Structure 1
């Protein structure tokens, strides 16, 4: 399927997509703050600059967009029809980079959580409760997201 906008417009639109302070990230930060957690943001000294860092609990949280970070089986994880080879390579690099950062953080003694955008879209209250429980639990890894069996 051909793009419905010209190349200049698409380029402008894509350049406006931000990696920090996204809507899902802001939603999670507000909820965690309300729950009594205090944290740092985008710590450049840690691999991958985690979105949320809770030093007291030795926890980092990445808030991933389902499209950009390839949430497998998710409705929001599609591949553009035009320039598919470019997108496939880009997505592969994103996923590999995410894996590498998680490994590095674990090796440094951090507990790593991944919160997928879809979990915050559908039932953010439930997602935040799960995240809060995990932070306090001491479990090494956490991931939340919605995957519908009909989408697989």
Structure 2
């Protein structure tokens, strides 16, 4: 399976990735966990942008294979956000 998803639901053709906000560059501008370090930006920016680009390639590959891709961000897995996360997961429906 491309990208080694964290969860795979074969009957629904759904994969789930649980991403760390820092390592995978959570695109939400309000996410404080996704901030860049203050030093060694010449190292960190290419490293983290490379991770994000890899994530996008994997998502495109999986979609091309007929899978739906569901991303859960570290920030969403915090206790206060679990109800919203549960609602998103319950909306996953089998492909028809």
Superposition TM-score, scaled by structure 1 size:
0.58
- Residue-by-residue CA offset, 1:94-115 (whole Å, 9 max, x unaligned): 0110000000000001011011
Any stretches of 5+ residues in structure 1 without a counterpart? 1-45, 139-152
Deviation at 1:137, TM superposition (A): 6.0
Residue in structure 2 matched with residue 53 of structure 1 by the alignment: 8
Residue in structure 2 matched with residue 118 of structure 1 by the alignment: 75
* Count, aligned residues: 92
Deviation at 1:56, TM superposition (A): 0.8
- Residue-by-residue CA offset, 1:76-111 (whole Å, 9 max, x unaligned): 111111211100010111011000000000000101
Structure-2 separation of matches of 1:132 and 1:58: 15
Residue in structure 2 matched with residue 82 of structure 1 by the alignment: 39
Q: Alignment partner of 2:26: what SS?
A: coil
Any stretches of 5+ residues in structure 2 without a counterpart? none
Tell me, yes or no, if the aligned pair for 2:12 and 2:94 is still in contact at 8 Å.
no
CA-based RMSD of the aligned residues comes to: 1.2
Residue in structure 2 matched with residue 97 of structure 1 by the alignment: 54
Superposition TM-score, scaled by structure 2 size:
0.89
- Structure number with greater Rg is 1
Structure-2 separation of matches of 1:105 and 1:84: 31
